[in-house]
Structure 1
Amino acid sequence: MASMKAQSSYEAPYSSTAPSTSHGVPQYMGDLPVQVNPNTGQQYVQVPRRGPPRLKGYLHLFDPHTVFKWQFPNFYRKPGYGYQKLGTYRHLDYFDREWVGDYDDRYISACDGRVSKLVVQAVDDIYDNTLNSTWRRTFIRNMAPFYLRLANWPLNHIDYARNGGPTGEDWPLIIGKWFLATIAITFVIGTPRSIEVPFRRGGMYDPLPYVYTGYPKVARNALEMENSRGDRLNETNPVAQRILRPRYLCFLRGNGQPAMTMNVEEWITQYKAERNLSYVFVAYTAEQFQSAEDLRVLHQMADAAARNAGVEAYWIGCSCMPDNENLEEDVYRICDVIRGAHSLAIAVGRPPNDMQGITTTDMMLQQWGRRIWTFPEVLLSPAGKEIRVYTRGADLMSPTLVPKNQFAARVWKQDAHVARQLVDHFEGNLILSQLELVTLALECLHNRETTQYLRGDHSYALMGLLRIRPKIDPTDSAFQAFARLSLANGSDQLLERLICVLPKSPNQPWHTMDDAWDTKLWEILPQECSIAGVGQDDTIILDGCRAANIRWKSFAPVAYNRIFSWKRWIAQRMLHLGGYVFWISIVLCAYMPLVGIPLFIYSLILMGLSPWLLRMLYLGKFWGTQGWFFGFEGYMDIDTIERQIFGGRLGRMKWTPHSSPLSRHHKNEHGECIPDDPTSDPATKALVESAKHAQPGEQRIFTIVDTGTMTATLIQAARPPICFLLAGAEGGMQRAIGCSYDWTTGTLYRETVIRLGTPVLDMMNRVPKVKIGFKRSMHPVKSLGEVGEAKGQQVC
């Protein structure tokens, strides 16, 4: 079975997204055929036997496209695209140093706090063959200790991933390389000295030296507001007052006479009938009633609704909101009018110029239900009362009665299951939490149509369902209106949870709260962080996060702790003494053969064992490692990643089983969760291949190596995230937001979200307030030859 496996291919775990075979003909994933195991039915990728991947490393110095610079990394490749020079921008860093220059990709250096040009290490296929980035690229360097690389050299051509160990054809090469390695080790190892690097920053991850120095549009604390705005201390997010009764109502008169529209306060003063004031709320849509004749008929229907209900007035939008200075406030306070109504009546009719064949009451009612402002009218209508539907041209004395708890199934068919939960909440049958209420209501409102009056209309419609309502700000974007509403109501830290969501699609709007792991918003628990304010440009000010920098320019030597081992101690002494014994034995052989010859034989044995002894020095379990987040563009198998950092395949590094949507795992015979190589899924393998040719702004594949937990994670992002922010927890893991940095505005933008083990909390420092956005817009780009490289300088 083992030999059969060695000669065939690597069988990947089954994936439902993998292509299937048809009539025995294999489908292809990228350039690799997908086969089906006839015994198990599992799909796998037929990979040619080529041995472990080899990186060119410093051989890239001979590439014609490799450029030299004085700062590390000294060799890089220029990007294929550059940003158009639309202006000069300024950045103030953590230490109050100013940088002024053209727009380009930069990161915050953990070493000196400067905003430095982003250089990303990339696998050979990407570094050599693509010019599709706006950032500089460099090749991957092997940063492992030289001694360990030398000790592992005899075995580094063995493909453990495919064959599980050396095969018969590997041994001749192993023996030849072993002989050369023993000679080299004899010359390089002579004096006992430590080859282990010290811990930095107590073993913690690199910090993020970020500072936010701007003013928010809305702050929780009034002292943080810009004084020039003229906000008083109690009006940073001013709240609209609830109205106790409508300003105007249409009062009934004698039969056959049209109702009289009158100011309510004047009517109460004139008729002294405040206790008896009761009215019907008449809902309609302008799609169905537009002309003067339509409005005349609409009033007839409203009059009949009020008389049938036994009240003396009705409220209708076309007449009870006079065009004056309070019109805007009236529009967004209709919710109070509904709450105070005796009952709800809906007037429907066939729309003018009907092209859709809307002829029945149900069809008219469904058209009415597709409008955004009609949704809260039903939810807020008096509980326990049937909704009366009046159809134009039908008998107004016999309206259609629709029970409120059946309204969702009959009218809101597109989201009936979600809308029914909201109806039950307002009926008092199934009470939702504040977070559930806002989440579900926002989903339903964005499913509906509106003729936009203000950009925040969806949030203002939602506002009517909540207790506290901020005053309308015409300058608000849709997100800002929602954020102000969330701040005013608390909303169970909705924004803190929302920023931790990984969108299912890169183009998913902020109000769509679908998570890539299908997690509900209320399952994400904010991690000791809170919203301090709302930014000027669809951003939030987040306080209390833990953060860590990501190193993209290269790997680095990693410090680690191990317990003492006599085997390693003896191996170290034998290695250090081997060279001296060899030269001493040669001298003794000339004068004291009986002593020299045994020593000479002993020294040869030590030399022959030197690669094995040197490798033994590095074996043993790590009880603690220096925290690093390394990143590179593209994909490498886990053994190659470990060789670049630790010098050889030691079996310490693993893929994460469920940190990313691209992570894969399976259950072994003992019921244990075993992480798999993400590219064992043919769909992921194809994604890796296609991402090599992504254009600016499109999704690419990056790999994040976490030495704190000794794991690697494959991620998708449009730009390399320069840091991780821990802002929430879910499912026993921490949600880490991978952010790129727009230095021109000092804003961190969410590029991806991964899940990390909870122990990383203790290895990260807190950061002060950070300005973070949900989606970064793409700055205009052209080929680098057209726009040239970005330029800038340190001012002070």
Structure 2
Amino acid sequence: MRLKGYLHLFDAHTSFKWQFPNFYRKPGLGYQKLAQHRHIDWFDREWTGDCDDRYISSFDGKVSKLVVQAVDDIYDNTTNSTWRRTFVRNMAPFYLRLANWPFNHVDYVRNGGPTGEDWPLIIVKWFFATIAISFVIGTPRPKQVEFRNNGNYDPFLYRYIGYPKVCRNALEIDTPRGHRFGETNPIAERLLRPRYLYFLGQEGQPAMRMNVDQYIAQYRAENTLKYVFVAYTAEQFRMPDDLQALHQIADAAARNAGATAYWVGCSCMPDKETLQDDVYRICDVIRGADSVAIAVARPRNDRGEITTTELMLQQWGRRIWTFPEVLLAPAGRDIRVYTRGTDLTSPLRVPKNQFTVEVWRQDASVARQLVDHYEGNLILSQLELVTLALECLQKRETTQYLPGDHSYALMGLLRIRPKIDPTDSAFQAFARLSLANDSDQLLERLICVLPRTPDQPWHSMDDAYHAKLWDILPQECSISGVGTDDTIILDGCRAANVRWKSFTQVTHIRRLTWRRLAAEYMLRSSGYVFYLSIILMVIFPVIGIPFFIYALIWLGLSPYLLRMLYLGKFLGQQGWLFGFEGYMDIDTIERQIFGGRLGRMRWTPFSSPLSRHHRNEYGECVPDDPCSDPAVRALVEKCKNAQPGDQRIFTLVDTGNMTATLFMAARPPVCFLLAGSEGGMQRAIGCSYDWTTATLYRETVLRMETPVQDKMARCNRVKIGFKRTQAPWGPIGQVGEPHGARRD
């Protein structure tokens, strides 16, 4: 691949500015100016302006306009971004580029080295390279750029200064005085027995609803209290005559079970003051029941499709609230199913462990694990229980009462349950539940999951790397709170900034061998000796000619000596995370950073879903160019025309490990956070930055080698969201360029 580099200066669409990178292309799209936003940076400086794409500079901590270097195809031919673009520059020292120039036309990938057809051009280019080097070789090893951050990656200068909606410590809420322990995420009390039950009368007489405490006090029947929990769905029992039939079924179920009472949801929660709490504590009623009976009927809107008890039961099983009713039913007891309009003395008996194959066919294998757990046959860990239960509940239907209904249904299966908050979103309800039962760091693991598809909901645990949630181990980070906008406050991460605007020289350490010492001496002396010999030949030709021949030989070998001096592997190098939009082959990437193909860099074999590798003849894992796969190549071409919010192709170059990784994201991640480990590698969350709310959003998750964490500094608490909402946008000519002002 050959890049135009600074030839882009002659493009009509290239603009100029005083700050580096001085040449760039304006975005073709922009965000609509709906409001002015305010941002406070690391050093308490204030920025106010219109919504646009920005990042936090690791140099001065300011929130600056995002400029992304892009390959030529994207820089020249597309105006589909909301961020500025610049062309890829070769940042290697000029003398190294001269030394490698004679060989830069050789196709190493195809031929493995120079061929007979390459040598004539190599010789011609060698001659001109030698002449050019003689003018720039004043010192063959100019002062090297000093190590930055002691060789570590650039830190991410971010700090969270807001208030969470829910926090772990009471001191961190906005009004801490007068709050007692536990009020940051208050826990709901458990019901030891139902408030009301229908107690059976004589045969043929209707049951009577009574307050349970009054009944026990009146009849002193606490030791003999035995009731049946009657499960049903409002789809099948809705109208007054339906409810009358439901009570007839409940009466028969209680008598068949030898119980003294029954509980049915439509009539046993009459107190409006406690109705909301009682609805979400039905799980306690189930746990205290002697047995569970299910009442089914044909729904009123049925068009003749649901005619058998089996079909009615399957419709019942598709509802979200019926799922925990079966799981929490007494272990080892068959569940009796009563069908409206049939003989109520001989119900259908369904063993609890057979519900998965007869009723829950859509997720039978997962649901069976939960049934076995509550039957005591196969005990799941807390993390496995929550993961599997949430997967099943999300597949079931419900008529929403509160946004967090799925989490509240899950809450009934857990020991600790926070109080219901009607203002919670679905995510906030789940996050509060996780905080209350967070011995297994569920949210810390969930944020490390890479969704398989861009539209995957936050609660899905389908990982693009095919790992289970319990395979991910949080690394020294924890959730300190839940944000007001479906975010979490994560503490303890290691983080590194990504440099998108350009490559830069990479400081490194090389072993100084005798060959390199000799090459350095010859190069240092040859330039001075050459010019001195010219003067001596004019004054003392006998002395000058030998010096001239000596200098000429070593100047002629200068490209070779320079390559000898700077070739080879590094013992240590400056850690940088470079990024660019698009794809370049590994040789081109190395040329832009180090001046030529030196064999130092490689693709990562399994750091991204786009990474590729193969087994060689020795059984070793060899990374491949991702675009050697035709599917990846087609994806690279397709993503060139992506619109805001669509997935694009980016490449991350890690000089700490001398690797490159091709990945997909909707926006360029401005930083990577190490939040967990899996399979012997670190889960690095690539985040974009919404400066208008000071929120990081997960754009991708890459797998990095474990030593990178030794080169990353810890950052302050970060406010991070699972999915970023795409802001309204339009052509830049219509919405206008964003404006803002900084106040130091």
TM-score by length of 2: 0.98
8 A contact 1:190–1:577 mirrored in 2 = no
Partner in structure 1 of residue 693 of structure 2: 745
Q: Distance in 1 between matches of 2:417 and 2:638?
A: 48
Question: What is the match of residue 704 of structure 1?
Answer: 652
2:479 alignment counterpart: 531
* CA distance in 1: counterparts of 2:54 and 2:179, whole angstroms: 36
Return the offset for 1:187.
Answer: 1.7
Q: CA-to-partner distance for each residue in 1:384-414, whole Å, 9 max, x for gaps?
A: 1010011112111111111111111111000
Could you say which residue in structure 1 is the equivalent of 2:489? 541
Q: Distance in 2 between matches of 1:320 and 1:102?
A: 55
Tell me what 1:409 maps to: 357
Aligned residues: 744
Give the share of equivalent positions with the same residue, in percent: 75
| Aligned match for 1:350, one of 293, 298, 301 | 298
Alignment match of 2:76 (pick from 107, 114, 128): 128
Matched ranges for 1:126-525 at <5 A: 126-191=74-139, 193-227=141-175, 231-322=179-270, 324-355=272-303, 357-525=305-473
Greater shift after overlay, 231-240 or 400-409?
231-240
Q: Distance in 2 between matches of 1:182 and 1:229?
A: 77
- How far did 1:256 drift? 1.4
- Structure 1 counterpart of 2:706: 758
Aligned partner of residue 267 in structure 2, secondary structure: helix
Q: Distance in 2 between matches of 1:445 and 1:193?
A: 65
Q: Within the alignment, does 1:635 sit opposite 2:583 as a pair?
A: yes
Decide whether the 8 Å contact of 1:198 with 1:559 is kept in 2.
yes
Are 1:652 and 2:594 counterparts? no
Amino acid in structure 2 at the alignment position of 1:778: Q
- Structure 1 residue matching 2:243: 3-state secondary structure: helix
Taking the aligned partners of 2:476 and 2:353, their CA distance within structure 1 comes to 39
Q: Residue 642 of structure 1 aligns to which amino acid in structure 2?
A: E
Post-superposition shift, 1:588?
4.7
Contact 1:456 1:481 in 2 (8 A): yes
Task: Please give the alpha-carbon distance, in whole angstroms, between the structure 2 residues aligned to 1:330 and 1:235.
Answer: 20
SS in 2 for 1:244: coil
**Conserved 8 A contact 1:145-1:195:** no
Q: Distance in 2 between matches of 1:292 and 1:193?
A: 93
What is the CA–CA distance in structure 1 between the aligned matches of 2:446 and 2:579, rounded to whole Å? 25
Distance 2:533 2:237 in 1: 109
For residue 701 of structure 1, report the CA deviation from its aligned partner.
0.2
- In structure 2, the gaps of 5 or more residues are none
Please report how far the alpha carbon of residue 352 of structure 1 lies from its aligned counterpart in structure 2 after TM superposition. 1.1
Partner in structure 1 of residue 670 of structure 2: 722
Report the equivalent of 1:770: 718
Could you tell me how far 1:490 is from its partner in structure 2?
1.5
Confirm whether residue 110 of structure 1 aligns to residue 58 of structure 2: yes
Shift of 1:644: 0.4
Deviations 1:451-507 (A, max 9, x none): 000000000000000001100000000010000001001140000000000000111
Residue deviations 1:368-396 (CA, integer Å, cap 9, x gap): 00000000000001011010011112111
Structure 1 residue 625, shift from structure 2 partner: 0.7
Q: Which amino acid aligns with 2:586?
A: I
Does 2:28 match 1:80?
A: yes
1:115–1:403 Cα change, 3 Å: same
Answer yes or no: is the 8 Å Cα contact 1:438–1:491 preserved in 2: no
Aligned residue runs from structure 1 range 608-623, under 5 A? 608-623=556-571
Deviation, 1:571, is: 0.8
Per the TM alignment, residue 231 of structure 1 is displaced from its structure 2 partner at its CA by 4.6
**What TM-score does the superposition give when structure 1 sets the normalisation length?**
0.92
Partner of 1:9: none
Per-residue Cα deviation, 1:195-223 (whole angstroms, up to 9, x for no partner)? 42211110000001101000000000010
Where does residue 7 of structure 1 map in the other structure? none
Where does residue 18 of structure 1 map in the other structure?
none
Separation in structure 1 between the aligned mates of residue 527 and residue 150 of structure 2, nearest angstrom: 37
Residue range with higher mean Cα deviation, 358-367 or 221-230: 221-230
Q: 1:193 to 1:405 in 2, by over 3 A?
A: closer
Per-residue deviation at 1:671?
0.5
Which amino acid counterpart does residue 666 of structure 1 have in structure 2?
H
**Aligned to 1:318, what secondary structure does the other structure show?**
coil
Residue 141 of structure 1 and its aligned partner are, at CA, apart by 0.7
2:729 to 764, 776, 781: 781
Q: Deviation string for 1:390-443 (max 9, x for gaps)?
A: 111211111111111111111100000000000000111110000000000000
CA displacement at 1:321 relative to structure 2: 1.2
Measured after TM superposition, the shift of residue 601 of structure 1 is 2.8
Shift of residue 161, structure 1, vs aligned partner:
1.7
- For residues 142 and 627 of structure 2, the distance between their equivalents in structure 1, rounded to whole angstroms, comes to 38
Measured after TM superposition, the shift of residue 569 of structure 1 is: 1.1
Q: Between 348-357 and 331-340, report the one with greater CA deviation.
A: 348-357
Structure 2: distance between partners of 1:580 and 1:468: 80
SS at match of 2:651: strand
Shift of 1:602: 2.7
- 2:685 aligned with 1:685: no
| Helix, strand or coil at the partner of 1:692 | helix
Letter in 2 for 1:416: A
How far is 1:229 from its partner? 10
Q: What is the aligned partner in structure 2 of residue 20 from structure 1?
A: none
Deviates more, 1:702-711 or 1:344-353: 344-353
Q: Deviations over 1:686-725 (max 9, x none)?
A: 0000000000000000000000000000010000000000
1:553 equivalenced with 2:501 (yes/no): yes
SS in 1 for 2:689: strand
Aligned residue for 2:390, secondary structure, equals: helix
Alignment partner, residue 626 of structure 1: 574
Write the deviation string for residues 173-203 of structure 1: whole angstroms up to 9, x where unpaired: 2111111011111121124653422111100
Determine the C-alpha separation between the residues in 1 that align with 2:304 and 2:470. 40
CA apart distance, 1:258: 1.2
Distance 1:675 1:378 in 2: 50
Gaps of 5+ in 1: 1-52
Deviation string for 1:739-793 (max 9, x for gaps)?
0001111100000000111111110000111100000000000100001111000
* Conserved? CA contact 2:170–2:176, under 8 Å: no
Q: What is the aligned-residue RMSD (CA, Å)?
A: 1.3
SS at match of 1:235: coil
Give 1:22's aligned residue: none
| Distance across 2 between alignment mates of 1:492 and 1:263 | 40
Amino acid corresponding to residue 514 of structure 1 in structure 2? D
